[in-house]
Amino acid sequence: MKLVAICLGRPEKLPGKSFKTGIYKAPVNSAVMLDHLGLVGDAVCNTRHHGGEDQAVLLEGSLTLDWWAAELGHPLTPGTFGENLIIEGLDNRDVGAGDRFHIGDVVLEASCARSPCNTLAVRMGDPKFLKAYTKAGRPGIYCRVIEPGMIGPGDPVRHETYAGDRVMIADMLAAVGKDLSAAEKARFLAAPIGSRWRPTFEGA
């Protein structure tokens, strides 16, 4: 595996909206510093729902983006989904909370699923896209930064699976709104899932 794209966003207004978003991202050709809050120079506008240490980086697998390109009927340029990083040869469905990605000295840890929002629907130009995104079961992967450092396009990537009971990132999104048993909730909460997602599975 290797890192095929690093994408940064600038604050831009959504069509017909007054607020700004950092979802419009474009690839860069040089190395970028990655700290505990994400890629230096990347815009995070809505800090209530985005960013923070548990959602420092949004990662996509190239195999998942290839699947989406086929579904949508056109190629996807890097950054289309607002992702920061694209890893060649990765299928998002193969990633669980606590899995780690080693990129040189940098270590990322998968924490939670990307939950689709209206901003994504506007970005894709389709009000029905949120339903399609959820149904597809291939959500983007938010990561926390365990070891910061410099990363660049073309860097090799090693995927290390979590040693404990794995909760797959796709299963997190699929569980939203479901009537989970106490055992299922406990299994989710035992995994190193992101803090914003924990209330979804609490109250068992």
Beta bridge partners of 147: 107
Query: Pick from 96, 100, 88, 99: which is nearest to 64 by CA?
Result: 88
Q: What are the φ and ψ backbone dihedral angles of 107, each rounded to 5 degrees? A: -130, 125
Quick one: how far is CA 173 from the chain centroid? 12
- Higher-scoring residue by pLDDT: 167, 129: 167
Buried b (16+ CB within 10 A) or exposed e, 64-81: bbebbeeeeeeeeebbbb
Mean pLDDT score, 3-31 = 82
Which CATH architecture is the domain 3-201 placed in? Beta Barrel (2.40)
Quick one: how far is CA 17 from the chain centroid? 24
Number of neighbours of residue 131 by Cβ within 10 angstroms: 12
Read off the pLDDT of residues 177-191 as tens digits, 9 standing for 90 and up: 888 888 899 999 999
Q: Which two structure tokens, joined as six digits, stand for 151? A: 């990363």
How confident is residue 96, by pLDDT bands cut at 50, 70 and 90? very high
**pTM for the full model?**
0.90
Residues 6 or more apart whose CB falls under 8 angstroms from that of 129 comprise 116, 120, 121
Mean pLDDT score, 68-93 = 95
Mean pLDDT score, 21-45 = 86
Q: What is the pLDDT of residue 204?
A: 47
Dihedral sign from CA coordinates of 112, 83, 88, 126: positive
Three-state DSSP class for 17?
Answer: coil
